Amino acid sequence: MKTLLAINSPLIKKIATFSFLIVCLASVLSWGLIKDAYEHYSQAQNNIEQFSDFYRVLDVSNKLAEERGYANQLIFATVGSMAHAKAAFIKSQMETDEALTKVPQDILSSALLQNTLSHLIRGREEVDIYAAGPRTDPHEARKAVDMMMESTEYFHNVLFVKTESFIKMEPTAFSAILQGQALGELRNSTGKLGSYFLYYLNTGTPLSESQLEKISRAWQQIETQWWLLGIPTSYSSDTDSFRTLMLKTRHNFQNKGAALIRHLQTQSENRESYSVSVSEFTVRYQDSLNTFNDMLQMYLFNVHQYYGKVKNQALEHFVLTLIILFTIYSLAIIGILYIHFNVVKPLLKLNVRAKSMGEDDVSSPAYQEVCEIKALQSSLDKLEEHIDENRILSDELKKLTEIDALTGVLNRRGFELQREKLLATVSADTPVWLVLIDIDHFKRINDTWGHPAGDKVLASLGDTLNHVALPNWMVARIGGEEFAVMFSSDSQQDVLNSVRRLQMACRNLRVMTDNGEVIRLTASFGVAKGLPADQDRMMSDADQALYQSKKTGRDKITGIGDAESH
């Protein structure tokens, strides 16, 4: 029997064409509207992110200037204030290092971060060496001050001056960026100004002509930076609260720091004895700069508030556009579903029933095929869920077999497996470095405080090594109190600096026992260099170097040039 209505009838074609036109119209509208709304929202979000990146650079600048000030306090501290100055210097170092890690890699690459840390480590070591010595030679004190100055200036000379990458937003943001740069440069300039007096206060000698010229240039820079901060802008950084804090900061600096500087400069020009000691000067001058960070925080808050408002307006427009388009699509879908269930589907059923009339098998092959496809799809979905569950479980079990449960670093098995992956990523002529680390007198720790305390020391050291290690390093516990670090590097100096950072991290580690006692520890280091093809020999060389460090007094680095040191 003939069907009542053919599937390819003009009526069904018209219905399909009408539905297709509705979808096409909605798609064309959606492309233009969503694109325009999303671009406005993305631009506002991008502005916030760029200012956040800019703030992180400013924050590092301020942290470096603060660390330089605390270093000066430590260099010239009296015996009674030495412990306090040392603690403040260490805390400032930690804040600087943390701020450096927050700068995005597209601004501060791994190589630039390593160079910055290398300069900082040299400056910090020079300060620590002078602070631990007799502190009687003013030239050595000046050397420590200059080294710290050089290490902090490196960041400014290489990175902070590259503000052109931040001026890629709308042109109206230019004044706000200049204000932000002026904030960072102002903190750096005021800190440098105080450093110019330290040697002469320490020796009681008048300022030299060259130093007076530096001081004159510094005053000019500071006045220019204050002027830049005072430029009115259309941004919310130009608020009453920001202006009030800026005036308070400038007043504090003028009445304390600047007045002290000018007083000492007058005494120097008149060949009079200085009225303050160098240790008193470092404390008083640092105190005159204590609100600069508050000003930077308020600057960021106000700029974020402004761009947040712009972002919210763009988001509201974007959401409204989506709602309108969703309504259009919903109406189109509802119309298509209505036609499908109330027109097309009844017609198809009529056709199937009409076709089956008069046949012995009244079941519909087409209907059975649809059911089988749905059942197959359901089975495939369940199978995919089971595969995903098994894959997650397998990854978790694999991780458990490769991670040391106590320290959180790789175990011996994980070290060997990851080593193969590392070697597969480097060429045959790329040097690979192995650093073996063994805790000194670990048995004494267990005997004195007990094995739970020893386990706590191992866990703390593992966490410390993971924190110091760069992303491409391998850190593992390969024995009781023995750890290994492996990485590739073409620069022996970079390797030496990295190992020294590991050594300083071990020296600075403090572990608190359950009864409140503090465990301090050191570690011996054995370093070996090799190519991917000679790993067994490299392990043996590193072990021999570690043995040499233990044999010659512990807390040493052996195996990399002239690195054997305490």
Q: What is the DSSP letter of 512?
A: E
Asked if residue 130 has pLDDT above 90, the reply is no
Asked if residue 388 has pLDDT above 90, the reply is no
Please give the average per-residue pLDDT across 80-109, as a whole number. Answer: 85
pLDDT tens, position by position, 245-289: 888 888 999 999 899 999 999 999 999 999 999 889 988 988 888
pLDDT tens, position by position, 103-114: 877 777 777 778
Q: What is residue 365's predicted lDDT score, i.e. its pLDDT?
A: 45
Tokens of 129: 């060496």
pLDDT tens, position by position, 166-180: 555 555 566 667 777
Question: 147 near 72, Cβ under 8 Å?
Answer: no
pLDDT tens, position by position, 141-153: 888 888 888 887 7
Q: What are the helix (H) ranges across 156-208?
A: 174-195, 198-203
Q: Which of these, 334, 533, 346, lies nearest to 426 by C-alpha position?
A: 533
Helix axes 10-75, 82-101, angle to 10 degrees: 160
pLDDT tens, position by position, 458-476: 999 999 999 999 988 999 9
Instruction: Give burial (CB, 10 Å; 0-12/13-18/19+) of 511.
Output: buried
Q: What is the DSSP letter of 209?
A: H
Q: What is residue 370's predicted lDDT score, i.e. its pLDDT?
A: 42
Query: What is the distance between the alpha carbons of residues 243 and 156, in angstroms, rounded to a whole number?
Result: 26
Q: What is residue 57's predicted lDDT score, i.e. its pLDDT?
A: 80
Question: 283 near 70, Cβ under 8 Å?
Answer: no
Q: Which of these, 540, 547, 560, 439, lies nearest to 495 by C-alpha position?
A: 560
pLDDT tens, position by position, 288-346: 888 887 887 787 777 777 777 777 877 777 777 777 777 777 776 776 667 666 666 66
Look over the chain and give the mean of its residue pLDDT values, rounded to a whole number. 80
Q: What is residue 171's predicted lDDT score, i.e. its pLDDT?
A: 57
SS3 content of the chain, % helix, strand, coil (to 5): 70, 5, 20
Q: What is the DSSP letter of 410?
A: B
